[in-house]
Amino acid sequence: MQSTTSRSIRSGLRAASRHGGTSIETGIGTAASLHLACAAPGVTWGSELFGPKLFAEEILRTPLRYEDGSLHLPDGPGLGVELDHDAVPALRRTGLTRED
């Protein structure tokens, strides 16, 4: 016999697997979330991957491309994005490690 709770949990998991999620991340995390959403056949609902639009500074050499309400999957090796190493020092938070 199956409990109502286990059926509810499975139903919720099925519904959750259709949504690619929300990502308040830099372009790197958002690119990773986008790749997952594009690769998972169960993701059929829109996602809210607008994190990079909320940041004043860009951490990618080429920003992710948003157009007509869509986020375009970057091409290229790995996640398809390249970190702007020159931008990283300015964005670093101090006092988080023993070396600071």
pTM over the 0.85 mark:
no
Helix (H) or strand (E) holding 66: strand 66-67
Would you call 83 helix, strand, or coil by DSSP? strand
| Alpha carbons 47 and 96: distance in angstroms, whole number | 32
Q: Where are the alpha helices (DSSP H) in 1-100?
A: 4-16, 27-39, 51-54, 88-91
More confident of the two residues 14 and 79: 79
Q: Render pLDDT for 14-34 as a digit per residue (tens, 0 to 9).
A: 555 566 666 688 999 999 988
Would you call 91 helix, strand, or coil by DSSP? helix
Would you call 9 helix, strand, or coil by DSSP? helix
